[in-house]
Amino acid sequence: MSGKRSVSVVWWVVLVAALLGLWIWLAPYFWTNVLWGLRSALFVLVPVVVLTVVVLGLAALDEERGLEGAGCLAALVGIAGIIAAGFWVFGYHSYAQARDYAGSVAVVDGRVPELGQRAPFQVAQAQARPNLGDAPGDLVNGTYQPQHDEFTSLVERRGWFSGYQVALTQNIPLTGRGTGRTCEFSAEADRRIGGWWTHNLGRLIGSQQRGVLYDADDVYGYCDGDTPKVVVPLLRQVGWLVVTERPAGVAVYNGKTGAITFQDTAKGLPGNSYPKSLAAVQRESTHTLGGFWDWVWHRAGWDADDDETNSGNNTEFALPTKDNRTVYATLLTGRGSATAISALSTVTTEAQGHELAPLSVHRLNPSWVSPGAIESRIKADYQDLPNWQNYKVLEVSPTSGENWVASIGNDQNLLYRVQGTGNLQGEKPTCLYRADNSLIRCGSVADQNGNGVGTQYGTGQPEAGIPTDLGQLTDPQLADLQRRISEEITRRLTGTG
């Protein structure tokens, strides 16, 4: 009888295992998310399981075999284990994780590569809606493609069981308004990131490339002629107790055919195929460069600048370099109260395989003043511009280790460009340019060539022969001046003359 029961149990185990295996096979995207979550939680689960087994084992020895002191030992091991596990889970694990990413970081004193200019990101976002035409849907995932000097966005089709509507490509000049064009997704390409069931692009990726996931903020689209395409930078996990992420190539979804292809490098792709989310984690890992206790007390590494001037986009500027590469560039400040820009980080935007791309932190010598200080200097130098009260300074972006560029205008229109030095020193700390990149002037006109100071711009000079001190006028001169003033008042009131 017991033999039949054993056989029955075996068959049930086999059946459950078979059904579980079939479920895993038929739902790879679901199980990839489950396994990622479990693997990420091992740093908690393993210490808890080991500690529980040891403590329960010692307690069992005390109860069953009467071993003297086993119960006390179990209590001591439990207390010590809880302290050690707490230190590991709530402290050292995060440090170890960041240290793994910091292995790709190099702090250098060499020159920052020369970087190209682009329109501010928030201007492209503001112009996207009016440039969208009559395409229905909701804008998501805006990005800049340095290779083609274009801003692109995806537009989700409304509805639960739907994909993307169109991809929007914008050409935003350095000043003025830009133009946009769209390319439409076909009915066959009805998947999107975060879509429902068979309309979920992640499920399609998971069915063909198991074990990889993505960050939704890294995804972008573009128009390949009239064909919309969605680029999904992929991620994979490495490690067990200390789990980190690595690039895993790129998935490209065809918006006409609904087909998906995979590639390891950025070959043939515009835009940012190296995960921006991974670049940000690498940059933040500089906090571990001084060791554990410096990490605990926030004494090492750099933080991203958080001035209001660049609040629309203050990290990972996607910029072209003069040698035909593209990089994420971020202005960095020392940790604590410092606001000076003392370093600039750069890392490629192009997928290059399955390992972390090298990230360089360039120390700036001399350091820059903060973007807020640069904004204040721009306002001081060029407050004589017509209707200045309706303008604002948009996005102070680096062009090298010594220079920056900013825009003057509003979210819909750019009117001027300003270039200058990071420390606001030298012969030309700021210079104002027109749309055609022709120079207007460098520095303020206040208190120059007879102009007043503050907002008292103009020649500030009296008419020839008339002193500025009325007490110096002769009686005939004073009478003549009074007559002319009365005549001018009368002319303006009557509209004559």
pLDDT in tens, the chain (497 residues): 556 666 677 777 777 777 777 676 768 899 999 999 999 999 999 999 998 888 887 777 665 555 556 667 777 888 888 999 999 999 899 999 999 999 999 999 888 999 999 999 888 888 988 888 888 889 998 899 988 899 999 999 998 899 999 999 999 988 888 899 999 999 999 999 999 989 999 999 999 999 999 999 999 999 999 999 999 999 999 999 999 999 999 999 999 999 999 999 998 899 899 999 999 999 999 999 999 999 999 999 999 988 888 877 889 999 999 888 899 999 999 998 889 999 999 999 999 889 999 999 999 999 999 999 999 999 999 988 888 888 899 899 999 999 999 999 888 888 899 999 999 999 999 999 987 788 999 988 765 655 555 555 544 444 445 555 666 677 777 777 777 777 777 666 665 55
Flag whether 311 is in a domain.
Answer: yes
Domain boundaries, position 90: 18-102
CA distances from 272 to 141, 160, 196, 305 (A): 12, 28, 26, 22
The Cα–Cα gap between 352 and 311 comes to 30
Asked whether residue 137 falls in the same domain as residue 95, the answer is no
Quick one: 168 and 266 in the same domain? yes
- Asked if 389 and 244 sit in the same domain, the reply is no
Give CA angle at 448 (445, 452), nearest 5°. 80
Verify cis geometry, omega within 30 degrees of 0, for the bond prior to 366: yes
Cα torsion through 276, 281, 283, 286, rounded to 10: -170
Picking from 152, 142, 155, the residue whose alpha carbon sits closest to that of residue 185 is: 155
The upper half-sphere exposure of residue 248, i.e. CA atoms within 13 Å in the direction of its Cβ, equals 19
Query: Token pair 């068979």 is at which residue?
Result: 198
Q: What is the pTM of this model?
A: 0.85
Q: How far apart are CA 304 and CA 316, in angstroms?
A: 10
Q: Which of 102, 137, 161 is the last residue of a domain?
A: 102
Query: Last residue of some domain: 280, 310, 343?
Result: 280
The total of structural domains in the chain comes to: 3
Are 36 and 162 in a shared domain? no
What is the amino acid identity at position 380? A
Using alpha carbons, list the distances in angstroms from residue 423 to 214, 292, 377.
39, 33, 11
User: Is 8 among the domain residues?
Assistant: no
Q: How far apart are CA 377 and CA 355, in angstroms?
A: 42
Closest to 128 (Cα-Cα) out of 116, 143, 117, 118: 143
Does any domain span residue 410? Answer: yes
Query: Nearest-5° angle of CA 362, CA 363, CA 369?
Result: 115
